[in-house]
A and B are shown apart, each in its own frame.
Chain A
Amino acid sequence: MVFNTSLTGYQEVFTDPSYAGQIVCLTYPHIGNVGANAEDQESPRPFIEALVVREFSQVCSSWRSAETAQLYLNRHKIPVIWDIDTRALVRHIRNVGALRGIVSTDGTPADQLIFEAKKLASMTGQELASRVTCGKPYGWDKGSVEVAISPCFEQMGESDAPAEMRKHRVVAYDYGIKQNILRLLVDHRCEVYVVPAQTSAEDVLQMKPDGVFLSNGPGDPEPATYAVENIQKLFGRVPVFGICLGHQLCGLALGGKTFKLKFGHHGSNHPVKNLLTDQVEITAQNHGFCVDPESMPSSTVEITHVNLNDNTNEGMRHKSLPFFSVQYHPEASPGPHDSHYLFTQFTDLMKEFAQPGSLRR
């Protein structure tokens, strides 16, 4: 049971596979106002186990909406609890940490449900990426939809020189990938192939990628040893960019440790400082685990980003190998676009690596 503090973008939250296995409470009291549509999907279906809100709109009002949010969640059989004091719930979670929970509609007495809930496994030690990953590899060629194209973003897209017409072939590991990552990769002239979480490093390298992307996803990174091993094999062979769970897996692959946060970071307003530029980005976040920066080998790894709210680690790069990763969600959706530059950074890294001798130090 977690809470998310975003004011907009509930459909993106519903469909973010990183929420697999979690009941989500949205702190903003009016949810569903703009209905649901095909473009705001972050994956083919909602992944939240259940939704808890103060008020769930019966109507929708947006030129973009195709159906009401109620209808949408009904179709996907996602239970919704509303009309409760969600703020009290959030304060409880804040004080005691993320909780195990059960949503029931069949009138089972509360004591029994609590008993059942206590029997549930905690998030620690759960490997969920393999549960939400795609069944087989696929290509992706859709870019951002018109409404999302912002002036800043257009500029960024155009900063790729016209001479640079060659597409970067990117293989994206799907640990529970959000589609906006894929859209942004396409916007940045990438030819994108998505592969299941368990795909071996060898199979990936055989695809001759210019870069490998490690996605976000649900669960504890530690038990995903298969992923850590594959990542270790990729380091140095190809530029790697990791996000969220991908970032945590990289931390483990580089010899570091991860730990569980009390109630995680779930929202669109987290300030993250880029230590290389001293600039602050307002970021979208959704993670319950975190890389312990103290555990990272300082001889090889440089900490690049830090969360200003609680000083937790938000990003790192390798001092010699073509790799960087961030804990937060530069693809936003929902959330601010401040960190889109990381996609350009990825394509730059791929360009640089492609030049003979450049980064193969």
Chain B
Amino acid sequence: MPKRNDIKKILIIGSGPIIIGQACEFDYSGAQACKALSTEGYEVVLVNSNPATIMTDPELAHRTYIEPLTKEYLEGIIAREKPDALLPTVGGQTALNLAVELSESGILEKYKVEMIGASLRAIKVAEDRLWFKDACRKIGLEVPASALVNNAKDALRLCDQLGFPLVIRPSFTLGGTGGSIAYNKEEFGEAIAHALDMSPVHEALVEESVLGWKEFELEVMRDFRDNFVVICAIENFDPMGVHTGDSITVAPAQTLTDKEFQRMRDASAAIIREVGVETGGSNVQFAVNPENGRMVVIEMNPRVSRSSALASKATGFPIAKIAARLAVGMSLDEIPNDITKKTPACFEPTMDYVVVKIPKWQFEKFPGADSSLGTQMKSVGEVMALGRTFKEALQKGIRSLEPSTPWRAPSETPDSLLREKLATPRPDRIHWLLTAMERGLSAQEICELTKIDPWFIQQIEELTAMNRRAAAVTVETASKELLREVKRHGTSDEQLAQIWRTTPASVRLQRARYGVTPVFKRVDTCAAEFESFTPYLYSTYEDEDESEAQARPKVMILGSGPNRIGQGIEFDYCCCHAAYALREDGFETIMVNCNPETVSTDYDTSDRLYFEPLTLEDVLAIVEREKPQGVIVQFGGQTPLNLALELKRNGVPIVGTAPESIDLAEDRRRFGRLLDELKIPQPRNGTALVPEEAARVAGEIGLPVLVRPSYVLGGRAMVIAYDVNTVQEYVAQAALMGPARPVLIDQFLEEATEIDVDALADGTDVVIGGIMEHIEEAGVHSGDSSCVLPPVSLSPAILDAIREYTKRLALALKVVGLMNVQYAIQRDTVYVLEVNPRASRTVPFVSKATGVPLAKVAARLMTGKKLATTNLPVMRRNGVAEITVREFYSVKSPVFPFNKFRGVDTILGPEMRSTGEVMGISTSYGQAFAKAQLAAGQRLPRKGTVFLSVNDRDKKQLGALGKELSTLGFRLLATRGTAAALASAGIEAEAVFKVNEGRPNIVDLVKTGKIDLVINTPLGRESFYDEKSIRRAAIRYNIPCITTLAAAHAAARGIRALLEQGTEVAALQDLHRGQAAASGVPASGD
């Protein structure tokens, strides 16, 4: 069937900010859909609130809207663009839910927009657990016994019928949010209450437990002609009970006979037909009882998903790209297979390697959160590894997670604890498995404790046996055969160095001596049956190398590894831009990364893709094979930077800012001296290794102080200390945590405004990319703070000082490429807090706000182009060039995962905890802020009641805010002290009880929906519990909660803008009209 010509313009909805359960896999799928539909000649209108995505690059769609993903804004866009069709299946659950809302509210009908890729009915049948179960039963498939409840009483009655354990799943939530497993009535009561709260429709499914069963997922596709193919079967290493997003998963499935696999295939085909997904990709999950093969259907997603992104990367079959084409009426046999070129996409990929995905968790960011894994997804990212065997892939996967250094169990762990560690799945269970095996626990016992399939346990046993054999020799006495064999098991040089009590470098040397080096094999969808035209490669220890490295000018880009807090999609965006720019310039581009969710690991993004761990060993192997002219390390965040010096020492040509400069900027002492030389103020600071020293340093600096470890990523483990004890405790703990690296102690600038600057430099010239003013004051991690570009409250003199310092720093550090500087302004003094001579988290935001793709320009500077020859749209201020600021405001706001971690406080601090970001754009600052808040899920009220409780410092300045809020017509409630402060400023507010003062107290009011906005600035330790419970309640009942006065002011302006301006939308292509197009540097030649 040829593609449809009755539709011309298609609206694609993105998935919004990165959150747990919905990450950059939807940037990958959405970007693919945009590209595929544009290539087919359709006009694409894209909406997504997330500026850090590739899909929101103005080149990817004809019309790009960075707007909140709400019904109102979507209607605004639809009214303006009048698209013929809406493709809701590439933007995750967010897009699907929004499409349902648009359809049910009659908006699609009103503007005559057709939903393609999935029908309303199909979405509802697949999403509604009961409908879905009915559909399965109708076609003769088994599902776990269950019932839907909407109140606790019915739920309790159900327990008796179904027996424990029971699975509780709230309806219509993402990534299993609010789901849990209950083993007794007490747990069940709590679980059901939480689930009902989390469900937007106040409904939950209570289900027979299939805990411990084998879990499988099939990624399938169907076209209008009813052609059906299975792209990939994925088997979960962790059995049922752990959310698939939190499970180690393996592709293809390892433990199915053909008869069982075909039964699943038939079931998937029957389901996709019964649910009515006419075209596109879906995934279907199954549980299989290992005792008797009983198979039950768990769920299906009528859209592309995290698993489909994984399946695409695992097989080389781009599901989203094909799904988009199917949605416009093409059939699978009309679409060619990109990799083989000669065969069609209508086939089932086969593999001759094994793929292992391992999730990345960050519980250390959320003290108090329960780290056991269950039905609610808690991981923030994932890695994928390919090997010729499961053992090799597993070990490569483990070292792709950072830190890559081998994990060791504390030697004093008693066996009872070891057994508990095996029985309860937590992030470190894979390591405990190896430990248990080393300790000599039998495979059978381990299987019983973990319910992991015996075949997988056997693989672990084989790894342990190999290690044991290796341990019998030394690096000098190891034979070539043994060395090759152990490398064939996927064991890293670092692991071997640990076994042999030597350095990785000497293992490497020994390998080189014996010629035990990896080869590179291709991912080709067909197990080598046909020739592959796409160099998508992975390393392994075999005989034949298929890399076919070319003798062309080439640049290698090191990616950022698994998504994590502080190092996410923003860095992937930069890496992709480097690849795009350098490909345009005629370089062969080589990408190295191990994150299956990203656009960078799409084989389309660069000329050659190495899906490999980002460790020294693995990167050096690729460099030796490819011999690139340059390697870019400054775009992938801390991961490649950590390798920079070692790579350089091994003769790798790093391009851009020298690793020594990067190192200098990270070294507090040396950097402090540089600042003194440059006459740039910095907060007073010092370092300490032991508590006594820390007390002395803190005394000299003066409290409060900011304490943190050296080498930071996303402000990890950073605290503000108001007393010496805290400082000493911190240093004592840090010393326990790891090798002697000094703790940094800085003067904390209270009531300061923080500024972020991104700049470009080529060694001679500097251009400021953008100056961003933080809306929260200093002390809140820059990644967690909202910011606005251009700044709204800085005087011209301050701005000039910022520009001048930035230029001085860039030149002094000999920056070639990008640099980010964080400043704090306190009482008209500009202090430098931190300099990072590399791409920062804000690069995509600034690029979207200014219309200049900074990362592309930077990549070109690194490969020898000069700023002087660019045609960047710049203005000169105080003798410093700066990208012309547009006549609108852009606000970036963070998004937090607090609803995933019960019991964790939501207060912002120096530790970064946001997973994603959104952008609001408007001609007024207030509106831009309100949009960003809305996009982040904080729906600022237009009327109603505001609750205020602020600390003493803020009380002094509360008058203006109170006046503004009451002028806007809000009723004000406040705690006694805050109410008194308001009263003294002449503003009327009713006093309410704090939690410990009586009932009904403020939490009761929040819970009963009497409050529309909470403004609560932290008071300090004594009222900690009280505040925490207010903020938790606000999160739980989805009431906007603001924790800084600055943000409260911005919110008041936002509310005013909402009342006065209403809903307005604008496309990036219109906003940036006139701003010099593309990268500003001539694409090639001079």
- Residues of chain A touching chain B, judged by Cβ–Cβ distance below 8 Å, are 3, 5-9, 11-12, 27-30, 33-34, 37, 39-40, 54-55, 57-64, 84-88, 90-91, 94, 145, 147-154, 267-271, 273, 278-280, 282, 308-310, 332-338
User: What is the total of A-B residue contacts with beta carbons within 8 Å?
Assistant: 196
> Judging by beta carbons under 8 Å apart, are B458 and A333 in contact?
no
For B546, the closest partner residue in chain A by CB is A91
Tell yes or no: B229 within 8 A of A by CB.
yes
A5 touching B527, Cβ below 8 Å: yes
Cα-based distance from A270 to B331 in the complex (angstroms): 16
Contact of A57 among B228, B263, B453, B455 (CB under 8 A): B455
Q: Which residue in A87, A153, A308 is a CB contact (below 8 Å) of B347?
A: A308
Question: Which chain A residues lie closer than 8 Å to B290 at the CB level?
Answer: 63
Binds A, one of B265-273, B706-714, B909-917: B265-273
Q: A151-B140, A308-B333 are in contact. List 18 more A-B contacts (CB 8 A).
A: A3-B529, A5-B527, A8-B257, A9-B261, A12-B258, A27-B350, A54-B389, A60-B455, A64-B259, A87-B521, A88-B543, A88-B544, A269-B350, A270-B347, A271-B333, A271-B347, A280-B331, A338-B228
**In the complex with contacts A54-B389, A279-B226, A147-B259 CB distance below 8 A:** yes
- Known contacts being A27-B528, A58-B458, A271-B333, is A148 close to B262, with CB within 8 Å? yes
CA distance A51 to B542 in the complex (A): 19
CB atoms of B455 and A59 under 8 A apart: yes
| Given A147-B263, A151-B270, A268 and B528 contact (CB-CB distance below 8 Å) | no
CB proximity of B272 to chain A, nearest CB, Å: 12
Contacts of A57 in B (CB 8 A): 455, 458
Q: How many residues of B contact A (CB 8 A)?
A: 64
Choose among B233, B266, B354, B453 the residue that contacts A29 (Cβ–Cβ < 8 A).
Answer: B354
Chain A residue nearest to B266 (CB atoms) is A150
CA separation between A9 and B262, bound complex, in Å?
A: 10
Which chain B residues lie closer than 8 Å to A333 at the CB level? 258-259
Query: Do residues A282 and B348 form an inter-chain contact, with CB atoms below 8 A?
Result: yes
Chain B residue numbers with a CB within 8 Å of A309 are: 342-344, 347, 530
> Which of A33, A57, A153, A334 counts the most chain B CB atoms within 10 A?
A33
Among listed B248-256, B563-571, B649-657, interface-contacting one: B248-256
A280 touches B332 (CB 8 A): yes
Q: Sorted from nearest, which 10 A-B pairs have the closest CB atoms? A: A9-B258, A150-B266, A88-B544, A334-B258, A61-B455, A27-B527, A269-B348, A85-B543, A8-B258, A85-B542
Please name 30 pairs of A and B residues whose Cβ atoms are closer than 8 Å in the assembled complex, sorted by A: A3-B529, A7-B252, A8-B256, A8-B258, A27-B527, A27-B529, A29-B389, A58-B458, A61-B454, A61-B455, A61-B458, A62-B255, A62-B257, A63-B290, A87-B352, A87-B388, A90-B528, A90-B529, A91-B528, A94-B529, A94-B530, A147-B259, A150-B267, A267-B350, A269-B347, A269-B349, A269-B350, A269-B526, A280-B333, A334-B258
Complexed CA–CA distance, A57 and B458 (Å): 9
Contact of A308 among B254, B343, B454, B526 (CB under 8 A): B343
Quick one: which of B515-530 are within 8 Å of A by CB? 521, 526-530
CB <8 Å contact, B266 and A9? no
How distant is B905 from chain A, measured CB to nearest CB, in Å? 45
Identity of the chain A residue whose Cβ is nearest the Cβ of B138 in the assembled complex = A151
Q: A63 to B254, Cβ gap below 8 A?
A: no
In angstroms, how far is the closest chain A Cβ from the Cβ of B627? 23
Indicate if the CB atoms of B352 and A336 lie closer than 8 Å: no
Within 431-449 of B, Cβ neighbours of A (below 8 Å) are at: none
Is B227 close to A, CB under 8 A?
yes
B257 A152 Cβ-Cβ under 8 A: no
Tell whether, in the assembled complex, residue B352 and residue A63 are in contact, meaning their CB atoms are under 8 Å apart.
no
Chain A residues near B546: list those with CB within 8 A.
91
Q: Which B residues are CB-close (under 8 A) to A273?
A: 333
B346 at interface, CB cutoff 8 A: yes
In whole angstroms, how far apart are the Cα atoms of A27 and B139 in the complex? 35
- Centre residue among B228, B342, B347 by max chain A CB count within 10 A: B347
* Closest B residue by C-beta to A63: B293
Is A30 in contact with B390, judged by CB distance below 8 angstroms?
yes
Which among B225, B293, B521 is the interface contact of A278 at CB below 8 angstroms? B225
- Inside 8 A of B261's CB, which chain A residues have their CB? 7-9
Question: In the complex, what residue of chain A is closest to B344 when comparing beta carbons?
Answer: A308
CA–CA, A9 and B354, complex, Å: 17
Chain A residues with CB below 8 A from B354, complex form:
29-30
Output the residue of A29, A268, A337 with the most chain B CB within 10 A: A29
Report chain A residues within 8 Å CB of B548.
Answer: none
Q: Are B256 and A34 in contact (CB-based, < 8 A)?
A: yes
- Residue of B270, B292, B529 most packed against chain A (CB within 10 A): B529
Chain B residues with CB under 8 Å of A6's CB are 258, 350
Residue in A closest to B252 when the chains form the complex, CB atoms: A7
**In whole angstroms, how far apart are the Cα atoms of A28 and B531 in the complex?**
17
Does residue B188 face the partner (Cβ distance < 8 Å to A)? no
Per-residue interface assignment for chain B, residues 1022 to 1048, with 1 indicating a CB less than 8 Å from any chain A CB and 0 otherwise: 000000000000000000000000000
State whether A280 touches B352 (Cβ < 8 A).
Answer: no
In the complex, how many angstroms separate the beta carbon of A334 from the nearest chain B beta carbon? 4
Are A64 and B266 in touch, CB under 8 angstroms? Answer: no
